[in-house]
Chains A and B, each alone.
Chain A
Amino acid sequence: MKVSIRTGCALLTLALGATTAVAHHSTAMFDMQHTVNIKGTVTQFDWTNPHTFIYMEVPNAQGVQEKWGIEGMSPNYLNRNGWTRHTLKPGDKIEMTIHALKDGRKGGFCASVTFPDGKVMYNLPHRG
């Protein structure tokens, strides 16, 4: 199973951060109370305004590759927090923690990315 759901106090922190930091739009379409983890391969990383955008191929329970589209914070915000346009590239195998779309489509908002070596890069504001 490639998709898992977590809840907890840490996520509330992320949700509060998101409501204040995502100014361009509200987070109404995302489930900010929960996160989902998706594991797959990056196919494209758009280092653009008003948001970065990450395309991934994620195998479903039957092993069929599904394309996901994940919005992230802007390059202006991220490059002040350690990201660059080279942080992700096509072919990267990553696990991503997202706030999924409420409507069930394969998309969401990136909270953090975990690389195979265990390194975590936070996208939404993170404390501690």
Chain B
Amino acid sequence: MRVAMGILLLSLAAAGTAAAAADAPHAAAARSSPQGDTWASIAKLPDWSGVWDFDYSAAAPGGGLVRPAPPHLTPEYAAKYAAYKERQKHGEEQQTSTANCVPPGMPQIMAQPYPVEFLFTPGKVTVAIEAYSQMRRIFTDGRKHPEDPDPTFQGNSIGHWEGDTLVVDTVGFIPTSTIAPGVGHSDQMRITERIRKISDDVMEIRQTIVDPKVLTEPYVSVKHYKRHKDWDIEEYICSQNNHDSADPEGRAGFKIQE
């Protein structure tokens, strides 16, 4: 009887593994990793304390002078991009709505010249983003995405740990966010991030964007963030004293007087 139960359990485990492997190649690694679902489990997660500032230096991937290759676009979105470049020649599309203090949403919010901080609580990693005082919530409690998520600036993020790497899957974005300047997205955009420390003070975020209506191949970018243990996330209320603006066509405005 005990043997029979053991075989049954093994079979169930094997079936579960096969099913999980189909939708998450690293599911086995994930199951053996602490998932931060309890305070005791959080103590086994890597030390991501301090705040992390996007590395703009020329040597860093995605920073400084090293620009990521442009995304490969479907004919429909290549035509849209060409029209965008044409409008730029006429003084339009110089600014985005961020000049009016509307946050950019994902994925651009993760590449701002301001630091981010990762906060661990049971079942959740919260990313505090200084730029525009934004917050991302990455659920690591095993839940699935809602079937029909409301479109939001940060999208709906589900994460799991594979060893020291946090893997985040995000869907459900506002229509106005962009993959790159002049490149919009469809309701099928999906962003995967693999977040890990590559040294004690350098965080790497490897981001893969898929969108079958917009991209002919996954758009992969790698960014580095430098740790500052003596910094804090500070307030950033964009509407406090904003002199800049974008009109509906993206022409830049600048108000000199109060």
Contact = CB atoms under 8 A, between A and B. Distances in A.
Nearest to B231: A80
B256 to A, nearest CB: 4
Contact of A23 (B112, B252, B254, B257): B112
Nearest to B237: A49
A21 interface: yes
Using C-beta atoms within 8 Å of the partner chain, give the interface range for chain A.
20 to 34
B114 interface: yes
Given A76-B234, A106-B256, A107-B256, A25 B99 contact: yes
A29 interface: yes
Interface stretch (B19-27, B40-48, B238-246): B238-246
B113 A77 contact: yes
A67 B112 CA distance: 32
Using C-beta atoms within 8 Å of the partner chain, give the interface range for chain B.
20 to 34
Contacts of A22: 113
Which 9 A-B residue pairings sit nearest by Cβ, starting from the closest?
A69-B256, A48-B241, A28-B94, A25-B99, A107-B256, A25-B244, A29-B252, A28-B252, A50-B238
A50 B240 contact: yes
A24 interface: yes
B65 interface: yes
A88 B237 CA distance: 22
A50 B101 contact: yes
A101 interface: yes
Interface of A: 16, 20-26, 28-29, 46, 48-51, 53, 67-69, 71, 74-77, 79-80, 101, 105-107
23 contacts: A16-B65, A20-B56, A20-B64, A21-B113, A24-B99, A24-B101, A25-B95, A25-B99, A25-B252, A26-B94, A26-B99, A28-B252, A49-B238, A50-B238, A50-B241, A50-B244, A69-B256, A71-B243, A77-B114, A105-B254, A105-B256, A106-B256, A107-B256
B165 to A, nearest CB: 27
Given A16-B65, A50-B240, A26 B113 contact: no
B98 interface: yes
A53 B241 CA distance: 9
A46 B254 contact: no
Interface in B106-149: 112-114, 130-131
